[in-house]
Amino acid sequence: MDTRDRNTDPAAQGAMIPDGAILPTDPILTDVRETIPGGPPAPGETTAAKGTEKIRTPFQESLLRLWRDKRAMVCAGIILFFVLLAVLGPLIYQHVGGTFQSSINGATPSSVYHNPFHQELDHQDEFASGMYWLGTDSVGRDLLARLMQGLLISISVAVLVEIVDIVLGITIGVLAGYFGGWIDQFLARFTDIMFAFPGLLFVILLTGIFGTWADTTLGNIPIIGPNGNARLILVSLALAFTAWPLMARYVRGQTLQLKEQQFVEAARTSGASSAQIILRHIIPNLLSIVIIASTLNIANTIVGEAGISLLGLGVQSPGSSLGLMISDGISLIDSHPWEVLLPSIVLAIIVLCFSFLGDGLRDAFDPRSKD
């Protein structure tokens, strides 16, 4: 009962529709006059379709706010750099450097010795050089190549996990929030169980139990299968399994709130079915919270995958993962510290960047949460 015209908060004045929005010579409202010039074309001029330019949606406003957030943009830039490095890097690196004479393998072109799986046993634990830009590990593998491979793994896992997370989270979250009933009960009990379990422990359990099975059956899937990456799918599924209940909870909460909004009631009054209401009004208004939650979850996923691989349950040699590299390099921390520092620093940076980006997203899409 207390809502006055909120749009006149002095700190929130913006470009409001001038009262040229009210027709000047409307037969119904003869007492309302056209006032501010610069509005729509005068009656008599043809409006055609020209007058209907789009202005920014609230979503676009949020994106603009994000664009202005320097810290978030820097982090997004770094993430983009890492992504490009992981995807395009190997392709470029393959052709850098000439053929070199290996004492073991004979003439070795750069496409071979810059391959993350190729072992040059003559050049073990080397520091950065012209040939090996970041040095080699204890079996002569190019560290930069392994780093890029590891990044690719991390990012692939993160993307895969997020897709499952988002799809499952939104579906179950919206259904639970909108309809309640047994779906809601199921979600509630399921999340209770998942939260009671330490997440990493659960993933370890899953990978431990199904690890060898994954190697044999999934190992035959092309591209991702060989080179110890079969486990990747398992790890991704395990991480997704533990992540989606939280997303569903967020979505459910937001759905409950949206359900009570008058525009949802208005949609029902306009004859929309539940499906139409969910697709048209609820899900689009959930996007901000989903974007924020998934960005922050990516940070968790990357750490999770690294942790699993470090424990030896994820990506196996000869495959590469940031976690695996760390585990390989730990024993050499006194003699060849860069072998463990390199992957650790990269891991730290990328996780921090996702966290700051998530923070920035939250500020951009939900500025009230800043106070």
Partner 1 sequence: MNLLEVNNLQTYFFTRGGVVKAVDNVSFVMNAGETLGVVGESGCGKSVTALSVMRLIANPPGKIVGGEINFNGENILEKNQHELTEMRGSKISMIFQDPMTSLNPVFTVGYQIAETVKRHRKDVSNDQAWKRAIEMLDLVRISDPKRRAKNYPHEFSGGMRQRVMIAIALSCNPQLLIADEPTTALDVTIQAQVLELMKGLSREFNTAVMLITHDLGVVAGTCQQVNVMYAGHIIESAPVKQIFETPAHPYTVGLLQSIPRLHESRGSRLTPIAGQPPDLSNPPVGCPYAPRCPKVQNRCRQERPELMPVGRGEQVAACFYPN
Partner 2 sequence: MVQEVETPKQAGTTLVDVKGLKVYFPIKGGILGRTVAQVKAVDGVDLFVRRGETLGLVGESGCGKSTTGRAILQLIKPTEGSVKLDGVELTTLSPNQIRQKRAEMQMVFQDPYGSLDPRYTIGQIVAEPLENFHRGNAKSLQDEVAGLLEVVGLNPYYVNRFAHEFSGGQRQRIGIARALALHPSFIVADEPVSALDVSIQAQVLNLLGDLQGKFGLTYLFVAHNLSVVKHISDRVAVMYLGRVVELAKSETLYELPLHPYTQALLSAIPVPDPEIESKRKRIILEGDVPSPVNPPSGCNFNPRCWKAQAVCREIIPPLEEKQSNHYAACHFPG
Binding residues for partner 1, rule: CB under 8 A, are: 1-2, 4-6, 8-16, 18-19, 22, 31-33, 35-36
Of partner 2, partner 1, none, which one sits near residue 35, judging by CB under 5 to 8 A according to partner kind? partner 1
Of partner 1, partner 2, none, which one sits near residue 133, judging by CB under 5 to 8 A according to partner kind? none
Nearest Cα neighbor of 156 from 216, 206, 82, 208 is 82
Nearest Cα neighbor of 154 from 208, 85, 94 is 85
Identify the residue among 25, 101, 270, 335 touching partner 2 (CB under 8 A). Answer: 270
Alpha-carbon distances of 152 from 83, 94, 138, 329, rounded to whole Å: 7, 16, 22, 19
Question: Which stretch in 146-154, 196-204, 234-242, 277-285 sits in contact with partner 2 by CB under 8 A?
Answer: 277-285
Of partner 2, partner 1, none, which one sits near residue 57, judging by CB under 5 to 8 A according to partner kind? partner 2
Q: What is the 3-state secondary structure (H, E, C) of 233-297?
A: HHHHHHHHHHHHHHHHHHHHHHHHHHHCCHHHHHHHHCCCCHHHHHHHHHHHHHHHHHHHHHHHH
Compare residues 10 and 130 and give the one whose CB is closer to partner 1.
Answer: 10
- What is 142-159 written as a DSSP string? BHHHHHHHHHHHHHHHHH
Compare residues 42 and 80 and give the one whose CB is closer to partner 1.
Answer: 42
Least Å distance, CB 281 to partner 2, is 6
Separation CA 8–CA 298 (nearest Å)? 40
Question: Which stretch in 151-159, 189-197, 224-232, 279-287 sits in contact with partner 2 by CB under 8 A?
Answer: 279-287
Least Å distance, CB 136 to partner 1, is 53
Least Å distance, CB 367 to partner 1, is 12
Contacts of residue 226, defined as CB under 8 A and 6 or more positions apart, other chains included, come to 219
Compare residues 139 and 283 and give the one whose CB is closer to partner 2.
Answer: 283
- Token match 């997004």: residue? 76
Of partner 2, partner 1, none, which one sits near residue 11, judging by CB under 5 to 8 A according to partner kind? partner 1
Separation CA 306–CA 317 (nearest Å)? 14
Residue 108 DSSP code: E
Compare residues 14 and 271 and give the one whose CB is closer to partner 1.
Answer: 14
Least Å distance, CB 38 to partner 2, is 12
Compare residues 13 and 101 and give the one whose CB is closer to partner 1.
Answer: 13
Contacts of residue 301, defined as CB under 8 A and 6 or more positions apart, other chains included, come to 157, 158, 161, 162, 239, 243
Compare residues 22 and 311 and give the one whose CB is closer to partner 1.
Answer: 22
Q: Please say whether the beta carbons of 176 and 187 come within 8 A.
A: yes
Provide the mask over 156-185, with x wherever binding to partner 2 is found by CB under 8 A and - wherever it is not. ------------------------------
- Assess whether the previous peptide bond of 318 is cis (omega < 30° from 0): yes
- Token match 């990269």: residue? 346
Q: Please say whether the beta carbons of 326 and 306 come within 8 A.
A: yes
Compare residues 1 and 91 and give the one whose CB is closer to partner 2.
Answer: 1
Q: Per the structure block, which two tokens stand in for 68? A: 């202005």
Q: Per the structure block, which two tokens stand in for 283? A: 């899900």
Least Å distance, CB 257 to partner 2, is 11
Which of the residues 70 through 109 are near partner 2 (CB under 8 A)?
A: none
Question: Which stretch in 125-133, 185-193, 258-266, 351-359 sits in contact with partner 2 by CB under 8 A?
Answer: 258-266
Compare residues 260 and 334 and give the one whose CB is closer to partner 1.
Answer: 260
Q: Per the structure block, which two tokens stand in for 278? A: 């969910």
Compare residues 12 and 55 and give the one whose CB is closer to partner 1.
Answer: 12
Identify the residue among 181, 284, 337, 367 touching partner 2 (CB under 8 A). Answer: 284
Question: Which residues of this protein are in contact with partner 2, per CB under 8 A?
Answer: 1, 3-7, 15-17, 20-23, 26, 28-29, 31-32, 39-41, 47, 51-59, 261-263, 265-273, 276, 280-281, 284-285
